[in-house]
Structure formats: C-alpha cells, structure tokens
Amino acid sequence: MKLHARLDDLPFENHFERLDPAYYSRVDPAPLSDVRLLHFNAGLAAELGLDSATAGDAGLTEALAGNRKITAGCYLATVYAGHQFGSYVPQLGDGRAIMVGQVRDARGGLRELQLKGAGPTPYSRFADGRAVLRSSIREYLCGEAMHALGIATTRSLSLIGSSLPVRRETLERAAVICRVAPSHVRFGHFEYFYLLQRHEMLKPLADLVIDDHYPELAGFPNRYAAWLSEVVERTARTIAQWQAVGFCHGVMNTDNMSVLGLTLDYGPYGFLDAFDSHHICNHTDEGGRYAYDQQPTIGHWNCSRLLQATLPLLHEDPDQAVEIANGILNRYPAAYTTRMMELWRAKFGLRSAQEADRELINRFLNLLDRGKNDFSLSFRALGELRIDAASTPLLRDLITDREGFDAWLADYRARLQFDGEDEAARRARMHAVNPKYLLRNHLLQAAIERAEAGDADEIDRLFRIVQRPFDEQPENQAYAAEPPPEARHISVSCSS
C-alpha cells in the first residue's frame, strides 16, 4: 500500500454524510493553544496508509488537534440516545467527539477517524466538549492494550496535549485523541430514533452499518435479523473476552455499546488486580450495576434494548417482530457460555472438553476470590505448574487457602494427565492466553502524573509494554507485579 505523507492525502470516503442530516450536525472543532503531540501510534498510522515519518510534522499535529480542518474531512457530530444506569436519556450524542471521516485501510476495510475532546457540539448539553489529559491517556493506552490482547476495540492514532485549563473536580488540562474504529455507531443511535417514534429513520442507518461492515449479510432474506443476530453474538463474545482478562468496563450504558461488538468508550475502566468477582471499578456506580460479575448479564440486557429499538426492522406485524427479536436475543446466553468456556479452558490449559471442567474452573476462581489473590498473576503461575506431584508449585505461595488449593491441585493435575499433553507445549499455550502485562490502574496513574508534570516518556513505555502482553519481557518485570499496598484502591470516577 502506498503510504501518504499527509493526513489530507488519505482517501477519505465519508459514508456517514451520505445520510440525511437528521442523523448528525456539522461542527467545526474549536482550536486549542500550545498543542503538543504526546504520542503517535505508528503501527495504526501504517494500517491507515499514513507515513509515520509525518509524526514530527506540525501540520499533522494541528490537524489531529482540530486546529486545522483537512479539506477531505466531513466534520460532524452524530446524535444518539441511551440507557444510562438503566434509565432512558432521550438525547445524548457526540458531545465532544467530531467525526473527521472514513478512510480505506491497507486491507480495504473502512476506518472512521474521530477527534475526541475537540470542542463543543450541539449535543454537548451543558458540558464543555473537552476531555482532560488524564482520561485521554487512559483511553489512548487501553485501546492499544485491548487490541494486543486480541479483543475487539476502538484504538487511537494520536494523543495531543494542550495548555487549555479544564475544570473537573480539580483544574486539569485539555487533550485530544484521534479515535479510530471501523464505525463508532452505538446501540443508542437506534434507540434515539425508535423512542422519538421516527421509525423510518432506522432503516437507512442499519443499511449503512450492514453495507459498510457486514457486506456478507447483504443477500440474506431478512438481513436485519441476520445483522442483529451477529451483533448479539459479537457482544456476547467480546464480553466473554473481557471476563477472561479481568477487564471491567465501568459504564456499560447502551450509548457505550458498539453495533460492531467493539469495546467502546474507555472511562472509569479497570483490570482486576486482586480477584473479586463483585469488583466495581467505577466509584460512581454505587449499586454495582456494572460490577465484574454483572457484565455478561448487562450485555444481554443492553442487547434487549437494541432489539426493542429495531423491532420495526424485523417485521411489519408487531407480534411477529417481537417473536423474531426474542429468538435473536435468546442466542446471547449460549454464545456467551460457549465462548466463555472455550476461554476458560484455554486459560487452564485444558485441551479436551469435559463435563466436570466447569466445576474445576469455578473452584479455582472461588479460591482466588476468597483469598483476593491477583487474577492475572495466578493464571500466569498456573502455566508454570508441573504435573509431577512431587514439585511444589510457585502458585501455592500466592494462594491464601492452602488446604483448599492442595485439594484442587490434585484434581487439576489428574485432569491435565487425562489430556496427556507435553508440559512445555501446555505451558506455551497457556502463556499465549494468560497475559503477564496488563494496563493496571497504578501503572496508568504513574504515567498520568508524569505526563501532567510535562514528561510523556512513561506513556511511551506503557504503550510498548502493553503491546506485548503475553511476552516475558524480563527488562519490564516490575510492570507485571501487583500494585503496592498504597496503590490498591485507586478510585476512578466517570469524570473525564
């Protein structure tokens, strides 16, 4: 693929602006002063056909900050609604994200570029349209971390800091990321038009999503049912992957749910340190609606909201539409459980599927839960375990309930023997799915504090570490450790 020297030269197609303007508003980004490129995602740039040698180019920074509009861009904010913590909010929308447009990537797929934090839009309500440096670093790095973990996600091309003061709980500085995904369309886009009773608006939006992102469904007799089934299955599978790496999203409102099954909108997220099945990563979520163990059920409920909003696409007879929608929604539990069991088996190094595996898996998770043992380090250590009963595994020192562990271990060893695989091969397979390096909150916190003090080096260091989550990286050993005691309860809120 030809690499372009300027963002302006990318082959923009801007499919979204082909829709009726009822779906969006044109907006100009509001310029920022003293912009500085704090990080540039060279790998993603290459996928977009952009020469990363342009990273030092002032013109690029200005464009990615929203200080300069590129002529090929469309610059618009889209309208959506959503269920926030269970209650319907009839109008949200891109309150601080401005779509620059869509380009073709190296493999011919569409990628949408969006400037997040580039100033107010008609959907900002009473807020300022900005994003603070802290939350921009969190989103920038996590997109990359999740991508490297093999989890469908939005990513970001650039992170730009500025001197603009922004008031949150304290005074912070504004930043802008250029977010990139095949599409940022959310469940809430459909809810908006459904609940306004403008049902005729559903079809053109669904057609855009299907034509651009699900072309294989084009010829299906009921393409909307086929598409929604795929959304439900992708959502279930993505959430299973979150559970497998201990990722807590924090704000699983329907306006943060992607119709492509991507992980979208990184706010007060967190990776589990100590395993706590009821862990709540967002301290604003007092009731624990989005706790770790609630995520799969919430994913299902969110899909029910999407299916409600798309009933008019399924059948003209309302009763039949409901019947079809229920059939689609019922795919979720099986899709989730099947994927989750595959992922657990891989994490435990089990090759065959046995009836009793579920119990063996749950017993181990209960041990971790009771002892509040580190989730990722425990699985990593499990990969080091020898079948030979004479050896005492390293893991035993980590687990608090030693007796319970010994009993479990005997059964686990027997189970591994049943599969009868070579130890080295099992270890390699387990290490390829049990990450050693995660974007833990205390690591992020350190990078944020340094960046706020003017030093962006730690952002780059974390960026590189989380790109290789399964590798040993002996030089970065300290980044694999559980948080020091004083950093165990970093609290993260919705404020961003």
State the minimum distance, in angstroms, from the CB of residue 133 to ligand AMP. 13
Query: Which one of 121-129, 148-156, 199-207, 394-402 is the stretch in contact with ligand AMP (CB under 6 A)?
Result: 121-129
State the minimum distance, in angstroms, from the CB of residue 168 to ligand AMP. 9
Q: By CB under 6 A, is residue 127 in contact with ligand AMP?
A: yes
Distance CA 240, CA 150 (A): 12
Query: Which one of 50-58, 128-136, 193-201, 474-482 is the stretch in contact with ligand AMP (CB under 6 A)?
Result: 128-136
Q: Is the Cβ of residue 95 or residue 393 nearer to ligand AMP in the bound state?
A: 95
Q: Is the Cβ of residue 127 or residue 432 nearer to Mg ion in the bound state?
A: 127
State the minimum distance, in angstroms, from the CB of residue 238 to ligand AMP. 17
State the minimum distance, in angstroms, from the CB of residue 113 to ligand AMP. 17
Q: Which does 130 bind (CB under 5 to 8 A by kind): ligand AMP, Mg ion, none?
A: ligand AMP
Position among 39, 83, 111, 130 found at the interface with ligand AMP (CB under 6 A): 130
Q: Is the Cβ of residue 63 or residue 252 nearer to Mg ion in the bound state?
A: 252
Whether 357 is a known active-site residue: answer: no
Distance CA 119, CA 36 (A): 17
Closest to 394 (Cα-Cα) out of 408, 383, 410: 383
> Which residues contact residue 137 at a Cβ distance below 8 angstroms, ignoring those fewer than 6 apart?
38, 159, 175, 444, 447, 448, 451, 459
Name residue 151's amino acid. I
Any idea which residue has 């065959």 for tokens? 352
Q: Is the Cβ of residue 49 or residue 82 nearer to ligand AMP in the bound state?
A: 82
Position among 39, 96, 213, 436 found at the interface with ligand AMP (CB under 6 A): 96
Q: Which does 129 bind (CB under 5 to 8 A by kind): Mg ion, ligand AMP, none?
A: ligand AMP
State the minimum distance, in angstroms, from the CB of residue 30 to ligand AMP. 11
Query: Which one of 90-98, 173-181, 313-321, 401-409 is the stretch in contact with ligand AMP (CB under 6 A)?
Result: 90-98
Position among 46, 322, 343, 494 found at the interface with ligand AMP (CB under 6 A): 494
Position among 31, 43, 59, 95 found at the interface with ligand AMP (CB under 6 A): 95
Position among 45, 60, 92, 360 found at the interface with ligand AMP (CB under 6 A): 92
Q: Is the Cβ of residue 121 or residue 256 nearer to Mg ion in the bound state?
A: 256
Site residues (vs Mg ion, CB under 5 A): 256, 265
State the minimum distance, in angstroms, from the CB of residue 101 to ligand AMP. 19
Q: Is the Cβ of residue 43 or residue 95 nearer to ligand AMP in the bound state?
A: 95
Position among 8, 128, 293, 342 found at the interface with ligand AMP (CB under 6 A): 128
Binding mask 250-279 for ligand AMP (x = CB under 6 A): -x----x--------x-x------------
The catalytically annotated residue of 94, 105, 255, 369 is 255
Query: Which one of 120-128, 197-205, 359-367, 451-459 is the stretch in contact with ligand AMP (CB under 6 A)?
Result: 120-128
Q: By CB under 6 A, is residue 29 in contact with ligand AMP?
A: no
Is the CB of residue 289 less than 8 Å from the CB of residue 280? no
Position among 14, 25, 52, 124 found at the interface with ligand AMP (CB under 6 A): 124
Could you list the active site residues? 255
Q: Interface residues with ligand AMP (CB under 6 A)?
A: 92-96, 123-124, 127-130, 251, 256, 265, 267, 494, 496
